[in-house]
Chains A and B, each alone.
Chain A
Amino acid sequence: GQNIDQPTEMTATEGAIVQINCTYQTSGFNGLFWYQQHAGEAPTFLSYNVLDGLEEKGRFSSFLSRSKGYSYLLLKELQMKDSASYLCAVPHGNKLIFGAGTRLAVHP
């Protein structure tokens, strides 16, 4: 089966850096997705990692280690608008399995 673990909540200060971890157990690996979801809104796609290593996209970077079943999302220069839930998800067969999400609160 599939199992995805993320911290439930995190807090950080505006301007700082935060790392949101995700560990997964999956039979067969076909990449890992990160999504951002603001309260009451739909998730928006952030990144997709298939190979090991760090992929940078502006203030957001995503890292993957397939051997460790581990990924993280790194957010730099935090802004208040980054307060949201961050979901990691892995494909399983023909569906996407989401973690419960990490609620990030950014404060001044």
Chain B
Amino acid sequence: EAGVTQSPTHLIKTRGQQATLRCSPISGHTSVYWYQQALGLGLQFLLWYDEGEERNRGNFPPRFSGRQFPNYSSELNVNALELEDSALYLCASSPGPRQPQHFGDGTRLSIL
């Protein structure tokens, strides 16, 4: 069974640009979660999608947004990039809410 896949592995952008990160969940999983893990910090919840709808979002500004497609894959978009957006962005999927989440390998976003 394929795990959660994320692309790209690394992404380098400059301030003010926009970034798009992609995630494919485990087959059969309808919930997709996005987390930010800045260097030396813990995992911070960003967004949760289930059945194509945004169900919850963490304490992040509106320039962090995303969507979930009919095949349950998901995109995270970050607009007007700032230096502090440099982090590892992890996507996780689960069969449903409050079920164990399985993580992808992440996208490392670097803002120059």
Contacts and interface: CB of A to CB of B under 8 A. Distances in A.
Contact of B42 (A44, A87, A94): A87
B82 interface: no
Interface stretch (B14-22, B65-73, B98-106): B98-106
Which size bracket describes the interface of B in this complex?
20 to 34
B45 A41 contact: no
B76 interface: no
B58 A95 contact: yes
A12 B97 CA distance: 35
B12 to A, nearest CB: 17
Interface of B: 33, 35, 41-43, 45, 48, 55-56, 58, 90, 97-98, 100-106
Given A95-B56, A98-B43, A42 B48 contact: no
Contacts of B97: 91, 94
Interface in A1-57: 30-31, 33, 35, 41-45, 48
Given A42-B106, A43-B90, A87-B42, A96 B55 contact: no
Contact of A94 (B41, B43, B56): B56
Given A94-B97, A96-B33, 5 more contacts: A42-B106, A91-B97, A95-B45, A95-B48, A98-B43
A59 to B, nearest CB: 19
Contacts of B105: 41-42
A53 to B, nearest CB: 18
B45 A42 contact: no
Interface in A51-108: 87, 89, 91, 93-101
12 contacts: A42-B103, A42-B104, A48-B100, A87-B43, A89-B43, A91-B98, A94-B48, A94-B55, A96-B45, A98-B42, A99-B42, A100-B41
